[in-house]
A and B are shown apart, each in its own frame.
Chain A
Amino acid sequence: MSATVLFRRGRVIDPRNGVDGVRDVLVRDGKVAEVSDAPLPVPPGAEVVEAAGRWVLPGFIDLHVHLREPGEEGKETVLTGCRAAVAGGFTAVVAMPNTKVVNDSGLVTELVLSRARAANLCHVYPAGAITKGLKGEELAETGELISAGCVAITDDGRPVMNAALMRRALQYATMFGVPVMVHEEDLTLSAGGAMHEGSVSTRLGLRGIPASAEVAMVARDLVLLEETKGRLHIAHVSCEGSVRLIREAKRRGLFVTAEATPHHVILDDRAVGDYDTHAKMAPPLRADRDVEALREALVDGTIDAIATDHAPHGVLDKQVEFEKGINGIVGLETALGLTLELVHAGLLDAKRAVELLTHGPAKAFGLPGGHLAPGAPADITVVDPLEEWTVDAHRFYSRSRNTPFHGRKQKGRVVQTWVSGRKVYADGQVKESR
């Protein structure tokens, strides 16, 4: 570990601080010490990272990751999830509580945090459950969860169907200033559905999940948000109607933030092809007009963050009849390449893309990092924006391989990841120090 590191002549893109240009970045004792237009002298004993032609970025922050520990360690552990995170350029991840045991108590939060400390790779911020056991019946002890280290509460994977309970969750959470993160799905509308309801589901003879299953719940929760003056974060937004409602709510000043996944902005429901369970997720991949709406929302700020919803599953969870296939894909190691597809296609400028991976998520959840001003944590991701490579799921650091992007050509790759001034990923290798 070097106490002092100098990143030389990289293109520094730091949206929060309005920086986009060639700079030197000096890191000392785990923090950013200086960002300079002019070349800086190399301090004695410093490690030098020659970054010409590369992007030097704030470390990426993923608000939506399933680490599967405790309970499903065969799919992922905190350690393997952290490896995948840093290989994907993420220096911080928010861990969802729908583990087995559910993170609805301080004990489980502490377990996740202790595993993260042992992994010693990236920052892991647990999210606690809104309701005990994610059953949607009684509020979990939010105060205990927050004091144990949770940064948000969510029943992710399930909606809070009971509107009165959701209203109380928003009210109660205002005491702690944390966002209530919601998986928006009206289960009466989505029941039995396996993919987006549209011409593709009709062609394949699969029961569809209408967009209204999400939009109706977004509408409900925005009404409750306005009434409670709470703080709402909408996970994995997937459709045009939701985007419209969130945009309008933001315009009116409600404290709502939102995320979109790379797969929902890259793929539409046609990716299901001939019943490919790797394209099965909740919410489902939507129609092309929804994809267009999400892309516009990334550009205009309606969506605050790109989050992966990294959802590891085993081969047997996917090598089954489509209706039986478990929802979700891994995403940490493909997020940058997919985001850059939008940049290379001219749909998103580089600065906004970086903002969606850094300052956007940091701001939404009030997390440290996400920028490179002096004094900020030296969480840094170095990217070669032009390196061409092909996604090979067999080489993932994640313990799981469930991705529809295996074999997809990408342009732009993470070459180094630094967390608190320590190099944790470089040259295709995770650098562990335990």
Chain B
Amino acid sequence: MRHLLGIEGWRRDELEAVLDRARAHLPGGPDTTHLLRGKVVANLFFEDSTRTRTSFHMAARGLGAGVLDWSPSGSSTSKGETLLDTARNIEATGPVAIVMRHRSSGAPHLVAKHVRCVVINAGDGTHEHPSQALLDAFTLRQRWGSLDGRTVLIVGDILHSRVARSNLWCLKALGARVIVCGPPTLVPPGLEALGAEVTHNLDAVLPQADAVMCLRLQLERMSEAFLPSTREYSRLFGLTTAREERMKAGSLVMHPGPINRGLELAPAVADGARSVILEQVSNGVAVRRAILEVCTS
């Protein structure tokens, strides 16, 4: 049994084992409904989520597990219960794994130190979103076979993105070159030390990318004046149809969702031939089945 708290620290062979296993969980694959039969997976989502929560739910059910779907509204957290008390109480009901999303970076690490079951990070603050990174990598491997020698460009609000960090570690571990691009106010310091190349000039690097991963601009943070306006952001960092024309032939467009259409991604690009956005969502279930299987085995 092993927690999945982040991609950082996982070796290439370990990541590849999860990704290889995910293939068996694609639609049409062998019956895996016995793998967690009689077990319960607890979904602890302290933050709103549609895609990830549903995907983990479907994954757990697909392995034969029962699912405890927990949310803070109407729970004891609204009465002031601490995170650890909530987690320990859920653990006491006997789940084989806790799948957890929380607005504080590191919250799953805290829980993992105090419970005996597996903890799977479904997104913590602005830290990591490991299952998203794995499904992104899986989608790229489906298209390319291998990530070795490929260049992935991550564009947008890097500072607040848990997807960016997990993808950086995952893609680098799998052999890709990673460039991150965004306005200086939304690019945190020290990314080079983590293995990324950093630029603030999208047009300069766009033609180098085999895949462009657009990140959601967190509009709720606009009040903190990270940017002059969404209009200017779109002009400088939006993947418009004009920019798409300058992309490398056969290159891909990705987005972890939800998309601000017309802001970070033009609708025609989001729905266009390069887009693998819905494939990412579909692959999410298979990858999360593999995560549950590998972590609880």
Residues of chain A having any CB pair with chain B under 8 Å: 197-208, 274-275, 316, 319-324
Contacts and interface: CB of A to CB of B under 8 A. Distances in A.
Nearest to B158: A202
11 contacts: A202-B165, A202-B189, A203-B8, A203-B190, A204-B127, A208-B188, A274-B109, A320-B110, A321-B107, A323-B125, A324-B104
A324 B125 CA distance: 13
A202 B165 CA distance: 9
A202 B191 contact: yes
B165 A207 contact: no
A198 B128 contact: no
A200 B165 CA distance: 12
Nearest to B129: A205
A199 B110 contact: no
Nearest to B84: A319
Interface string B197-222: 00000000000000000000000000
A203 B194 contact: yes
B296 interface: no
A205 B162 contact: yes
Contacts of B84: 319-320
Contacts of A208: 188-189
A415 to B, nearest CB: 36
A198 B190 CA distance: 6
Interface of B: 8, 82-84, 102, 104-107, 109-110, 124-128, 162, 165, 188-191, 193-194
Contacts of B126: 205-207
Contacts of A324: 104
Contacts of A205: 105-106, 124-128, 162, 165
Contacts of A197: 188-189
Nearest to B124: A205
A248 B60 CA distance: 63
Contacts of A206: 105-106, 125-127
A322 B105 CA distance: 7
Contacts of B104: 321-324
Nearest to A201: B188
Given A199-B190, A206-B105, A321 B127 contact: no
A201 B165 CA distance: 12
Given A203-B165, A205-B128, A205-B165, A321 B190 contact: no
B190 A200 contact: yes
Nearest to B112: A274
A323 B124 CA distance: 12
B191 A322 contact: no
A316 B188 CA distance: 31
A204 B106 CA distance: 7
Contacts of B8: 203
Given A200-B190, A203-B165, 9 more contacts: A202-B189, A203-B194, A206-B125, A206-B127, A274-B109, A275-B110, A319-B110, A321-B107, A322-B104
Contacts of B109: 274-275
A-B interface, 6 closest residue pairs, ranked by CB to CB distance from nearest: A199-B190, A205-B127, A275-B106, A321-B104, A205-B105, A202-B188
B106 A274 contact: yes
Nearest to B46: A321
A290 to B, nearest CB: 14
B108 to A, nearest CB: 10
Contacts of A202: 165, 188-191, 194
Nearest to B111: A321
Contacts of B194: 199, 202-203
Contacts of B83: 320-321
Contact of B189 (A199, A275, A316): A199
Given A274-B109, A275-B105, A316 B190 contact: no
Nearest to A200: B190
Task: Tell which of A203, A316, A323 has the most Cβ of chain B within 10 Å.
Answer: A203
A203 B190 CA distance: 8
A323 to B, nearest CB: 5
Nearest to B196: A202
B105 A198 contact: no
A234 B162 CA distance: 37
B112 to A, nearest CB: 9
Nearest to B165: A205
A208 B185 CA distance: 13
Nearest to B127: A205
A319 B87 CA distance: 13
A197 B188 CA distance: 8
Contacts of A207: 126
Nearest to B105: A205
B127 to A, nearest CB: 3
A106 B116 CA distance: 53
B296 to A, nearest CB: 22
Contact of A323 (B105, B188, B189, B193): B105
Contact of B105 (A199, A204, A316): A204
A105 to B, nearest CB: 33
Nearest to A206: B105
Contacts of A201: 188, 190
A120 B20 CA distance: 70
Contacts of B124: 205
A322 B102 CA distance: 12
A199 B193 contact: yes
A319 B84 CA distance: 8
A118 B72 CA distance: 48
B257 to A, nearest CB: 19
